[in-house]
Structure 1
Amino acid sequence: MEIRYFAWLRERLGTAQETVETEAATVADLVAELSARDEGYAHAFSDTRAIRAAVDQDLVEFDAPIAGAREVAFFPPMTGG
C-alpha cells in the first residue's frame, strides 16, 4: 500500500510517500502501526485531531476500513480562502 504525506506531516517525517505492508484493518490501526515505528512517526501522529485521511482519494474518518486500498494519504485540515 502506498502511504502519502502532505504539508507539515511530510516535513516532520522527511518523506512524501512510502510503500508499506500492513495488517491494519482501519486508518486508525495504520496510524498506530506507523506511530510505533519511532519517535518521529509518534510525534507526527500525536494529535490526530489535526490530521485528515483519504483512502484511495476519498476523504474518510479514522475508523474507515483500508482492506484492499491502494493508497492512504494523510494531510492537515483544508481551509478555504
Structure 2
Amino acid sequence: MQIELRFFASVREQLGTSQEQVVVPEAVRTVGDVRRWLAQRGPVWGETLAEGRALRMAVNHQIVPADTAVHDGCEVAFFPPVTGG
C-alpha cells in the first residue's frame, strides 16, 4: 500500500521533511501503525513520533484517532496540537 505522508510545524522541522510518498508493510493498517513504523526509522524519528508525545494525526484532512484505518492512496498527516487564545 502506498500512502502520502505530510509533516507540519515542529514535526516538519524536527524531521527535516514536509512530505513523502512511502510504501508501507502489510502489517501497517492504522494511523497508529504508521506512526510506530515511522518511529523505527532512527533516533530523530523515534523521538519526534514517540507514543507518549502529544501529536495530532489526520487522514485525508480529517483529524482521526490512532485506530483509524489507512488505505492505498490516502494522505496521512502529523502535526503538534494547536493552541489559541
TM-score by length of 2: 0.86
Select 1:15's aligned residue among 8, 14, 17. Answer: 17
Percentage identity across aligned positions?
42
What residue is the counterpart of 1:25 in the other structure?
Answer: 29
Rounded Cα–Cα distance in structure 1 between residues aligned with 2:17 and 2:53: 21
Q: TM-score w.r.t. structure 1 length?
A: 0.90
Number of residue pairs aligned between Structure 1 and Structure 2: 81
The answer on whether the counterparts of 1:25 and 1:65 sit within 8 Å (CA) in structure 2 is: yes
* Superposed displacement of residue 43, structure 1: 0.9
In structure 1, the gaps of 5 or more residues are none
- Give me the CA root mean square deviation: 1.4
Q: 1:55 to 1:69 in 2, by over 3 A?
A: farther
- Tell me which amino acid in the other structure corresponds to 2:15: L
Give the residue type in structure 1 aligned to 2:17. Answer: T
Q: Structure 1 stretches (4+) deviating beyond 6 angstroms?
A: none
The change in CA–CA distance for 1:49 and 1:38 in structure 2 (over 3 A counts) is closer
Which residue in 2 is equivalent to 1:3?
5
* Cα deviations by residue, 1:13-56 (Å, 9 ceiling, x for unpaired): 00001111113100111011101111111011124541001100
The Cα offsets for residues 48-77 of structure 1, whole Å up to 9 and x where unpaired, read as 541001100011001111123520000011
